[in-house]
Amino acid sequence: MGKVAIIGVGQSAFVRGYPGSIRELAFEGFKEAMLDAKIATTDIDASVICSAPEYDKQRSPAGVFAEYLGLTPQPTFYVETLCSSSSTGLKLAYSLVESGLHDCVAVVGFQKMSEITSAESQERMGRGADIQWESPFGTMMPAYYATYARGHFTKYGTTPDDLALIRVKAATYGQINEKAVYRKPVTFDMFQDPENTMAGPVASPLRVGDCCANADGSSCLIVANEEKAKMFCKKPVWIKGIGSASTAVNLANRDLFSGLTVGVEAGKQAYKMAGITPKDIDVAEVHDCFTIAEMMAYENLGFAEPGGGKELIRAKETYKEGSIPVNVDGGLLSKGHPIGATGGSQVRTIVLQLRDEAGDMQVKDPQFGLIHNIGGVGLYGNVTILGRD
């Protein structure tokens, strides 16, 4: 198998109400990745465009973006797996390069959620599940994840306070991430004050502070084969393992409500392909659309035993100085979650970490980094492992 590298990464600032169109938003992430890779558009021989549908009016954005980014007449492909779209795009790019079909592929993720209202967005998100048999009951993402929080609480004795600790950690790093939409401090005490916004009810047992915010944003990853990577890039970061899984969409057809099976399955595949174990991971980005999602990720990825996630966060082991730093860029909880851009942003963070270019967020000398990106209510899962060598 040939080696495949990520040679350039970029993302826009994640913001509320981006004052431009989707192609202009995509250009921001793309430009940063191109300047990072120091290549020309003619060096790219295919593009993969990633987003979730129904936030903007554009049908088939791939062609529009390929033109705007100067990537015609090269082929372009549109990929969608809801919130994990751009890590799925990365997997497609990996496959295209590893197979020898293409040498250098741009993966562009984007979402302009502010094209619709917050209430409309909740309705769209809820329809990322079973529209025939669940949506008629009035479902939405926080409530779906809340059923998992309830399952985790019941089985393992996890508490709302444990989840609050995850949000406090996210805010610690969100404050120093200039690309994050939420940069204010969040304290544990805010969750103890019923009058505080953070403690406000959303869908029990999840509260406002347990939920990430909608945002507009774009991300871009430049993927290349070994020859091009060595030609273009001083510090290529290599794709060591890449796993993916799906599960039943309707909760009625699931057995586990204290973890996400797609995270477990995709993780196993990625560890096996990389030939490493969870202990080898030095820094991770996990899909914390809700605090409970990060808690489950600790366990599903093997950073803790099932039920042991709460001890990990209570002991601050997932902080930058801990044994397994997780989401030390603020995570989705602080950065915001522009659906189609999120996976690419997570990958960007790990690439910067492995290049020792993460600034104040840098962990010490990481060799392996992991990205866990989930689509829908654990409907799709991608786990990607990157390495320095």
Partner 1 sequence: MAKKEKDLRFSKFGTVSFTATSKTNDFIDKLEEGKVCGTRCKDCGTKFFPPRADCYKCLASNMDWFDIDGVGKLVTYSKLEYAPIGFENDLPYCIAVVDFGEYKVFGRISSDLTDDDIEVGMALKAVVNKLPSAQLNYVFQKA
CB 149 within 8 A of CB 211: no
Residue 261 binds to partner 1 (criterion: CB under 8 A):
no
Residue among 120 and 360 whose Cβ is closer to partner 1 = 120
Q: Which of residues 81-100 bind partner 1 (CB under 8 A)?
A: none
CB 114 → partner 1: shortest distance, Å? 16
The DSSP string of 119-175 is HHHHHHHHTTS-TTTTGGG---HHHHHHHHHHHHHHHH---HHHHHHHHHHHHHHHT
Shortest Cβ 256–partner 1 spacing (Å): 10
- Using the minimum distance from each CB to partner 1, give the nearer residue, 214 or 353: 214
Give the distance from CA 143 to its chain's centroid: 20
Helix (H, G, I), strand (E, B) or coil at 4: strand
Give 205 or 387: the residue with its C-beta nearer to partner 1: 205
Nearby residues of 364 by Cβ (< 8 Å), 6 or more positions away = none
Rounded least distance, CB 377 to partner 1, Å: 11
Alpha-carbon gap, residue 81 to 366, rounded angstroms: 29
H helix intervals, 175-323: 226-232, 261-274, 291-300, 309-314
Binding partner 1 by CB under 8 A: which of 60, 159, 250, 277? 250
Phi, psi values for residue 115, rounded to 5°: -65, -20
Single out the segment in contact with partner 1 by CB under 8 A; choices: 35-43, 201-209, 358-366, 378-386.
Answer: 201-209
> Closest distance between partner 1 and the C-beta of residue 142, in Å?
8
**61-68 and 22-37 helices, crossing angle to 10°:** 50
Which entry of 102, 152, 287, 337 is annotated as an active-site residue?
337
Q: Which of 83, 104, 211, 212 is catalytic?
A: 83
Q: Are 319 and 168 in contact (CB under 8 A)?
A: no
User: Between residue 115 and residue 154, which ones bind partner 1 under the rule CB under 8 A?
Assistant: 119-120, 122-123, 126-127, 130-140, 142-144, 146-151, 154
By rule CB under 8 A, what count of residues binds partner 1?
39
Indicate the residue among 205 and 343 with the shorter CB distance to partner 1: 205
Q: How far is the CB of 201 from partner 1 (least distance, A)?
A: 4
Q: Is 204 in the site for partner 1 (CB under 8 A)?
A: yes
Query: Is 83 marked active-site?
Result: yes
User: Which two structure tokens, joined as six digits, stand for 189?
Assistant: 């005490």
* Residue 253 found at the interface with partner 1 (CB under 8 A): yes
* Side-chain half-sphere exposure of 93, counting CA atoms within 13 A: 35
Q: Using CA atoms, how far apart are residues 363 and 369, in angstroms rounded to an integer?
A: 11
Helix (H) and strand (E) counts for the chain? 12, 11
Closer by beta carbon to partner 1, 97 or else 249: 249
Cα maximum dimension of the chain: 58
Instruction: Rank residues 82 and 180 by Cβ distance to partner 1 and give the closer one.
Output: 82
Task: Find the DSSP H helices in 191-301.
Answer: 226-232, 261-274, 291-300
Clarify whether 372 is annotated catalytic.
no
* Nearest distance in Å: CB 52, partner 1: 16
Site for partner 1 in 160-199 (CB under 8 A): none
Residues in contact with partner 1 by CB under 8 A are 119-120, 122-123, 126-127, 130-140, 142-144, 146-151, 154, 201-206, 250-254, 257
- Active site (catalytic) residues: 83, 337
